Amino acid sequence: MKFSYNDNITMHRLNTADFHRIFVRFCSYAAHCTFGLLIGVIPVQLTKYSTGRLRPHFLDVCKPNVNLTVLCGSGSASSHDYIEDYVCLGGPEARVRNARLSFYSGHASTAMNVAVFCVMYLQARLPRRIYGISLLPLFQTMLIGGALLVGYSRVSDNMHHPTDVMVGFAAGLMVALVSVSSFLGIIIETFVIC
- Do 94 and 108 share a domain, yes or no? no
Query: For the whole model, what pTM was predicted?
Result: 0.78
- Do 32 and 92 share a domain, yes or no? no
- Do 132 and 148 share a domain, yes or no? yes
Q: Which domain holds residue 93?
A: 58-98
Q: 85 in a domain, yes or no?
A: yes
Over residues 16-53, the pLDDT tens digits come to 777 777 787 788 788 888 888 898 999 999 999 999 89
- Decide: 186 and 43 in contact? Cβ < 8 Å: no
List 12, 20, 57, 160, catalytic entry? 160
Over residues 124-175, the pLDDT tens digits come to 777 777 766 778 889 999 999 999 999 999 999 999 999 999 999 999 999 9
Q: 194 in a domain, yes or no?
A: no
Side-by-side strand order, sheet with 17-20: 2-5, 9-14, 17-20
- Decide: 158 and 56 in contact? Cβ < 8 Å: yes
Over residues 28-37, the pLDDT tens digits come to 788 888 888 8
The domain boundary, picked from 67, 98, 129, lies at 98
Told to judge if 57 belongs to the known catalytic residues of this protein, a careful annotator would answer: no
Q: 109 in a domain, yes or no?
A: yes
Told to judge if 107 belongs to the known catalytic residues of this protein, a careful annotator would answer: yes
Angle (nearest 5°) at CA 154 between 50 and 45 = 25
> What is the pLDDT, as a whole number, of residue 190?
53
